[in-house]
Amino acid sequence: MGDILVCVSKTFYIETFGCQMNAHDSEKVIGTLEQQGYARVQDEDAAGLILYNTCSIRDKAEQKVFHRLNEYKKLQGEGKKFAVLGCVAQQEGQKIFEKAPYVSMVAGSASYRNLPEMLRRLEAGEERITGLDDRQTELTFETEFTARSNPHRGYITIIEGCDKFCAYCVVPYTRGKERSRTAASVLVEARKMVDLGFTEIQFLGQNVNSYRDPSGRMSFAELLVAVGELPGIRRVRFTTSHPRDFTRDIVQAIDDTPTLCDHIHLPVQSGSTAVLQAMAREYTREWYLERMNWIKAAKRDISITSDMIVGFPGETDADFEETITLVGEVKYDAVFAFKFSPRPNTPAVTMADSIPDEVKTERLRILMDRQREIQRKHYGRHLGEVQEVMVESYNPSRNQVVGRSTQNKTVNFSTAQIVQARPPIGSYLPVRITQTLPNCLVGEAIEDAEALPVASVQRASDFVVLN
């Protein structure tokens, strides 16, 4: 047995595909591996264990994963072990072993809490280890061992899974039922992060505003405020919300709590009630617009962004036009739009996908052209404003600093008017907006005694994120 145990080198390489939730899951996986005595390396050739944390939202996600696995098949002969984690792992299950027999471990996100035990089995020589939990699990992945990749902006998953079962979406099948952490555990983690120097916290969840405190102590809005009031916190964000659970007290919380960022991402998916019904979204165009009116009535200027799908089965030209008119009515600050593609195990798989791809492509082009036109005009409202910007990186070729506003907008700015030519990553500066472009703001940093930069350490990104 001793000979078997030493054959697994306790070094690992992890590659993350997909969304912020996957990236944060990887932070927790990395922390768990390091706690188990594994050392992280930045190159798969140097790793004894290679892990892929996968996403199945986009079209051909499974093919991308198997293609990547096949690229590294040659490394099997060097004694390396392979693990597939995340949504594709949960979706494909045992089939991964059939398609890629050199994979030793397959684990969905709901089973990450069992990673220490699965790793021990891997080290003991087991060749096919699975962690594929039933979607009815009530358990969440909470760990104090989180290797956070950004020393200033940190993520907290407050709710896992999804119970909405939208017709096009695979998430309920890959991440299980909705299950929330207690408000107390979230506040403990947030306080620890503040003590470590984090100034921005972002709540994560497939439907983050569907949060239900198991102890009944706090609503989602109350939890936002509680974290926003922690001494040392400058910004609190949350993503992604669902219209069905979007309540007016969320807008009130943003209005009343300056540290809550003035940005709401509320996916609509379609402007047509008929298409929304076919999608099983369980709200109407009018319901959604009512929530838009709540946001627009706020005292603060709250940025609104959304997700949209074009070419859903049965979407007529008239349905699509309703999406275009909705975009014109809401005037989003950004829209993330995609062509419909059927995902495995979802109800939409059985629907006749009768809309030709060229029609989907043309509708996507029309939608994004219209949105760019709106953004070009809508961003103009910021001209001349002074905004607080968090420094994220530098663009030496343009002699600019790159940062982000509280509205989650990219701000490229120069520093000619201040002493520090290169303010530290993670610092906050007042920036006067001098130019507006369709996808970003341009400005000039100004001196302000009340906006002193915080101490910070620059750190390279820990993830390769593939979409």
Binding residue positions for [4Fe-4S] cluster:
19, 55, 87, 162, 166, 169
Residue among 38, 30, 34, 32 at smallest CA distance from 14: 30
Integer Rg of the chain from CA: 23
Do the beta carbons of residue 336 and residue 381 sit within 8 Å? no
Within 13 Å and on the Cβ side, how many CA atoms surround 27? 22
Give the whole-angstrom CA distance, residue 82 versus residue 91. Answer: 18
Give the whole-angstrom CA distance, residue 29 versus residue 145. Answer: 8
Task: Give the residue ranges of the annotated binding site.
Answer: 19, 55, 87, 162, 166, 169
Do the beta carbons of residue 161 and residue 129 sit within 8 Å? no
Strand partners of residue 324: none
Peptide bond between residue 325 and the one before it cis (omega within 30 degrees of 0): no
Give the whole-angstrom CA distance, residue 101 versus residue 143. Answer: 31
Do the beta carbons of residue 433 and residue 383 sit within 8 Å? yes
Residue among 336, 384, 369, 386 at smallest CA distance from 438: 369
Q: Encode 82-95: b = buried (16+ Cβ within 10 Å), e = exposed.
A: bbbbbbbbbbbeee
* DSSP SS3 for 290: helix
Distances (CA, A) of 190 to 120, 224, 229, 234, 240: 31, 11, 11, 13, 19
